[in-house]
Structure 1
Amino acid sequence: MEKDRLGAFVDAVLAIIMTILVLELPRPETYDLAGLWALRTNFFAYALSFFWLGAMWVNIHYSYHAVERINQKTVWSAVIMLFFSSFYPYATKLVADAFWNRTIQVLYGAVVLLITVAVLGYYRQLRLINGGEGMRSLVLHRRRWIHIDIVLKIVGLVLSATFFPPASSIAVLVTLLVLVIPSQLAQDNTVNAVER
């Protein structure tokens, strides 16, 4: 399989998953501001999940400029990543329906962690067979923040399980706004400097 076919497959599945997120939004009971306000946790869960998946896609898409080849392990690591990602709309819907429920928030946090670990496995496979400077630069850049990202998500999961249920969702929001998006914006400068 060529890298472009795998990239297209990943793009297509993530696009479907992101579309399912919006299809899970319920209609308001009344068609006015009060009806929309009653769905605020649904909109929050949708926006958080959409932008988190979008950030994941940006990272994956951006890394493909450094990918020269793939192998069966790469393909299977992508399938595993997409498998866990396919649970995200379900977990998002549950969080939207029961935002303050401890069990649901723990499930949401666990799904996010499983996706994150699967993405790391995917990048590991890409790095093992693509030893060029571009891939090395991407890996080094991500190592600066990925451990903090995982620790914050684990802390959110533990807090959700013990005494503050929304902590998992808040941890995802914090990592997205403080680590992931700023890192992606800084990554342009890092990679451009390497390419010069």
Structure 2
Amino acid sequence: MNKERLIAFTDAILAIIMTILVLELAKPASPTVSAFWALRTSFFSYALSFFWLGSLWVGLNQIWDKVEQIDNAVIWWNLLLLFLASLIPYATSLCSEYFESKVIQAFYGIVVISMTVCNYFLHLALDKPNRNTPILLEATKTYRQMLVPDIGIKIVGLLLAVIVYPPLMMYAVLLASAYILTMKHRADVRHKRAQK
């Protein structure tokens, strides 16, 4: 399999998953502002999951541009990542309905953490077939270094969600996303300065 087919498959699956998210949104009980306000946790859950998946897609595509070769390990890690991503609409729907449930927020957290760990190993797997591509090796190393604290933030969020306040899981995902975006921006700025 060539990388273009894998990228197209990944893009299609993520697009479908992100579309399914909106279909899971509940309708307001009546056409009033207060009825929409009652759905605020649903909209928050939807927006968080949508933009988190979107940032995953952006990150993957930035790396895929540098990839020259793929092997079976890359294909299977990517497939596992997509399988876990396919659980996001279900987990988001549950969070929308049971936002303050420890069990539901823990489930959401486990899915998100599993995806992040899988993403880490996908980036590690990319190194082997591209060992002669220094620009990719540097990019995957940098990305993996960013993912370690990201995973840590999410694990702390999971623990706090179970022990203290369930919605802290989703807030941890939001915080981890802000961290990743900040670190990517800094890495891009450093890269541009190095090219001058």
Give TM-score scaled by structure 1 length: 0.94
The match for 1:9 is 9
Equivalent pair of 1:69/1:130 in contact (CA under 8 Å): yes
Alignment of 1:85-104 (within 5 A): 85-104=85-104
Shift of 1:111: 0.5
Provide the rounded CA distance (Å) in 1 between the counterparts of 2:57 and 2:110.
19
The match for 1:56 is 56
Could you tell me which amino acid in structure 2 is paired with residue 151 of structure 1?
G
Shift of 1:119: 0.9
- Aligned residues: percent identity? 39
Shift of 1:195: 6.0
Provide the rounded CA distance (Å) in 2 between the counterparts of 1:160 and 1:3.
39
The match for 1:139 is 140
Give structure 2 stretches of 5+ with no counterpart: none
Does 2:161 match 1:160? Answer: yes
Provide the rounded CA distance (Å) in 2 between the counterparts of 1:83 and 1:165.
25
Q: Tell me the C-alpha RMSD between the 2 structures.
A: 1.5
Equivalent pair of 1:109/1:153 in contact (CA under 8 Å): yes
The match for 2:177 is 176
The match for 1:71 is 71
Provide the rounded CA distance (Å) in 2 between the counterparts of 1:52 and 1:31.
29
Residues 192 and 64 of structure 1, relative CA distance in 2, 3 Å threshold:
farther
Provide the rounded CA distance (Å) in 2 between the counterparts of 1:193 and 1:144.
20
Equivalent pair of 1:137/1:194 in contact (CA under 8 Å): no
Equivalent pair of 1:134/1:191 in contact (CA under 8 Å): no
Equivalent pair of 2:158/2:168 in contact (CA under 8 Å): yes
Provide the rounded CA distance (Å) in 2 between the counterparts of 1:37 and 1:161.
26
Provide the rounded CA distance (Å) in 1 between the counterparts of 2:173 and 2:84.
16
Give structure 1 stretches of 5+ with no counterpart: none
Could you tell me which amino acid in structure 1 is paired with residue 94 of structure 2?
L
Provide the rounded CA distance (Å) in 2 between the counterparts of 1:165 and 1:46.
17
Could you tell me which amino acid in structure 1 is paired with residue 50 of structure 2?
F
The match for 2:27 is 27
Give TM-score scaled by structure 2 length: 0.94
Equivalent pair of 1:159/1:165 in contact (CA under 8 Å): yes
3-state SS of the aligned residue for 1:129?
A: coil
Shift of 1:191: 4.3
How many aligned positions are there? 195
Equivalent pair of 1:2/1:69 in contact (CA under 8 Å): yes
Provide the rounded CA distance (Å) in 2 between the counterparts of 1:136 and 1:72.
18
Shift of 1:175: 0.6
Provide the rounded CA distance (Å) in 2 between the counterparts of 1:104 and 1:166.
10
3-state SS of the aligned residue for 1:66?
A: coil
Shift of 1:182: 1.6
Equivalent pair of 1:134/1:194 in contact (CA under 8 Å): no
Could you tell me which amino acid in structure 2 is paired with residue 108 of structure 1?
Y
Provide the rounded CA distance (Å) in 2 between the counterparts of 1:192 and 1:10.
28
